[in-house]
């Protein structure tokens, strides 16, 4: 073949291809344009936000998937959870988003509102839809369309050191007053009752326990109500009465909380199931039986803990949405949810996973499951993922004492009204 002929041939091929694409229905040009040809290897870029322990489990599952689907190559990229929200927005804006993202539940409505996500209603099977627990699934629905599938659900619980409880002769607290009394008995030289975190995510249980609220689904801001203020004031009491850590280091507080708990300095902390593997590596918890989990105590007007978790979503820019869905379907099968539950204590989102006998016998998992029964849903609004940016600095100021609880929460209210454009 001469060069000219090759050129002509290519041109004809290209023209035919474009016409075919044009014919195949204007509704889904995205899907057809890049659909994989027979025998061609498809690459799926997946952004995972898992911690190192969870990533180990993930690697096994991905290897199995690639073996079963030799035409799909999954490129797993680990993005730190704290950066993922912004990184995804920036890259989606630039048109370079990954095919699949492990997406925090509050980010999902936001990304959907921004038009970055692909609706998957046509891909989701009816039995899967029925199997998913209602509350976690709801975070995937925005304006009547489904944008993802729930992978894990969680709610922080009250974690305690059983040995220290026994030594001090205290029972597991059921109410906030009992928790305060327990903290008092547990505080002595070299140890203290409760780690007060200024991360606003962990302040929410106190606000709900006293009848307060953050933002409702109707976008009503309730954070500066009298009840909310009472809740925050109660949390500050642990610090003011010296029943908490005395050294506050906001930038490092999560790590310090974990270290203090693992070393037996903190008797109680509030944290979620994702921390289990890290906690059990600590010297206090060499014997896993020493690790106690209970629901966050109830206050005078309620009880609650923020429901969190992660979904799997597909980017609208994905060139291979069918393969991408195949991947998340596999990743999120009952069998693999059980794997994550066993290895990393992540709470499944499928009813069928909870029917697994091993999981029924798992004390840690059942402990966190009990918290789910008294957990509180966060607002399912696009702004839900941004609310903590203004919330946390104000809780810090209240903990530090530069603002009163009332002033701090009033400032949060003002910031949220701006966020919600009121």
Partner 1 sequence: MLQAIKRNKAAYFFVLPAMLIMIVLVFLPLAQGIFYSFTNMDQYNMGNRFVKASYEFIGLQNYIDVFTGSGLTEFLGVLKQTLIWTFTNVFFHATIGLGLALLLNRHIKGRAYYRMLLLIPWAVPSFISAFAWRWMFNGEYGFLNVMLTKMGFAGIPWLSDPFWAMTAVIMTNVWLGFPFMMVTFLGGLQSIPKDLYEAAYVDGASRIQQFFYITLPQLKSTIFTATLLGVIWTFNLFAVIYLITEGGPFNSTEILVTYAYDKAFSAWRLGEATTYGTIILSLLIAFSFFYSKVMKVTEKE
- Write out the residues near partner 1 by the rule CB under 8 A: 86, 89-90, 92-93, 95, 113-116, 245, 247-252, 256, 259-260, 316-317, 382, 386, 389, 393-394, 396-397, 400, 402-403, 419
CB of 340 to partner 1, least distance (A): 30
CA distances (Å), 395 to each of 20, 198, 256, 273, 407, in order?
Answer: 59, 6, 18, 24, 10
Q: Which is nearer to partner 1, 170 or 257 (CB)?
A: 257
Is residue 125 within 8 Å of 286, Cβ to Cβ? no
| Nearest distance from C-beta of residue 183 to partner 1, angstroms | 19
Q: In the complex with partner 1, which residue's Cβ is closer, 359 or 412?
A: 412
Q: How far is the CB of 86 from partner 1 (least distance, A)?
A: 5
Exposure string for 219-249, b = 16+ CB within 10 A, e = fewer: eebbbbbebbbbbbbbbbebbeeebbbeebe
Q: Given the complex with partner 1, which of 374 and 414 has the nearer CB atom?
A: 414
Contact 73, 18 (CB under 8 A): no
* DSSP 3-state of 121: coil
Whichever of 93 and 216 has its CB closer to partner 1, that residue is 93
Cβ closest to partner 1, residue 99 vs residue 227: 99
User: What is the closest distance, in whole angstroms, from the C-beta atom of residue 324 to partner 1 in the complex?
Assistant: 17
Closest distance to partner 1 from the beta carbon of 11 (Å): 28
Tokens 């507080």 -> residue:
253
Residue (196 or 331) nearer to partner 1, CB: 196
Specify the residue, 310 or 316, whose C-beta has the smaller distance to partner 1: 316
Alpha-carbon distance of 122 to 146, in angstroms, equals: 9
Kindly state the smallest distance separating residue 93's Cβ from partner 1, in Å. 5
Residue 111 to residue 312: CA distance in whole angstroms: 12
Q: What is the DSSP letter of 292?
A: E
Residue 201 to residue 195: CA distance in whole angstroms:
14
Could you tell me the smallest distance in angstroms from the CB atom of residue 161 to partner 1?
A: 18
**Of residues 95 and 169, the one with the C-beta less far from partner 1:** 95
Spatial contact of 328 and 312, defined as CB atoms under 8 Å apart: yes
Tell me the closest approach of the beta carbon of residue 82 to partner 1, in angstroms.
Answer: 10
Interstrand relation of 145-146 and 141-142 (parallel, antiparallel or unpaired): antiparallel
Give the C-alpha separation, 380 to 311, whole Å: 14
User: DSSP of 63-83, one letter per residue?
Assistant: HHHHHH-TTEEEEEEE--HHH
Q: Which residue, 333 or 386, is less far from partner 1 as judged by CB?
A: 386
CB nearer to partner 1: give 255 or 366.
Answer: 255
CB of 417 to partner 1, least distance (A): 12
Q: How far apart are CA 273 and CA 287, in angstroms?
A: 18
**In the complex, least distance from residue 381 CB atom to partner 1, rounded to whole angstroms:** 12
> What's the rounded Cα separation, in Å, for the pair 249 and 197?
10
409 contacts: CB under 8 Å, gap ≥ 6: 223, 224, 228, 229, 232, 394, 398
Cβ–Cβ under 8 Å, residues 172 and 165:
yes
Task: Please check whether residue 371 is in contact with residue 296, taking contact to mean a CB–CB distance below 8 angstroms.
Answer: yes
């Amino acid at each position: 073949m001469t060069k000219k002929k090759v050129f002509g041939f290519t041109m004809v091929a290209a023209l035919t291809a474009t016409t075919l694409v044009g014919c195949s229905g204007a509704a889904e040009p995205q899907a057809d344009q890049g659909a994989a040809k027979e025998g061609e290897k498809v690459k799926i870029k997946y952004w995972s936000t898992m911690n190192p322990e969870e990533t180990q489990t993930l690697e096994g599952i991905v290897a199995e998937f690639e073996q079963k689907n030799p035409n799909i190559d999954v490129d797993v990229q680990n993005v730190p959870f704290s950066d993922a929200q912004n990184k995804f927005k920036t890259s989606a804006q630039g048109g370079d988003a990954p095919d699949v993202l492990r997406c925090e539940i509050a980010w999902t409505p936001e990304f959907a509102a921004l038009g970055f996500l692909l609706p998957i209603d046509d891909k989701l099977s009816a039995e899967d839809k029925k199997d998913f627990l209602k509350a976690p699934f709801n975070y995937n629905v925005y304006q009547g369309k489904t944008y993802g599938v729930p992978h894990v659900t969680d709610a922080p619980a009250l974690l305690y050191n059983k040995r220290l409880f026994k030594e001090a002769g205290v029972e597991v607290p059921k109410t906030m007053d009992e928790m305060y009394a327990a903290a008092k008995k547990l505080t002595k030289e070299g140890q203290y009752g409760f780690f007060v975190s200024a991360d606003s995510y962990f302040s929410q249980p106190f606000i709900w326990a006293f009848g307060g609220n953050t933002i409702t689904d109707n976008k009503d801001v309730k954070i500066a109500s009298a009840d909310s203020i009472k809740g925050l004031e109660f949390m500050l009491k642990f610090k003011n009465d010296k029943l908490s850590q005395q050294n506050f280091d906001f930038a490092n507080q999560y790590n310090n909380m974990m270290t203090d708990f693992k070393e037996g300095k903190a008797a109680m902390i509030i944290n979620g199931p994702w921390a289990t593997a890290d906690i059990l590596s600590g010297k206090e918890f060499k014997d896993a039986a020493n690790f106690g989990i209970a629901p966050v105590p109830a206050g005078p007007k309620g009880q609650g803990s923020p429901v969190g978790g992660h979904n799997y979503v597909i980017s609208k820019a994905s060139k291979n949405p069918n393969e991408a869905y195949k991947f998340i379907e596999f990743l999120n099968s009952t069998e693999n949810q059980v794997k994550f539950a066993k290895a990393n204590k992540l709470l499944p989102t499928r009813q069928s996973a909870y029917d697994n006998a091993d999981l029924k016998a798992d004390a840690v998992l059942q402990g966190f499951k009990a918290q789910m029964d008294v957990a509180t849903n966060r607002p399912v609004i696009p702004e839900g993922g941004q609310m903590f940016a203004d919330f946390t600095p104000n809780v810090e100021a209240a903990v530090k004492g530069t603002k009163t609880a009332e002033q701090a929460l009033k400032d949060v209210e003002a910031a949220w009204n701006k966020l919600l454009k009121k």
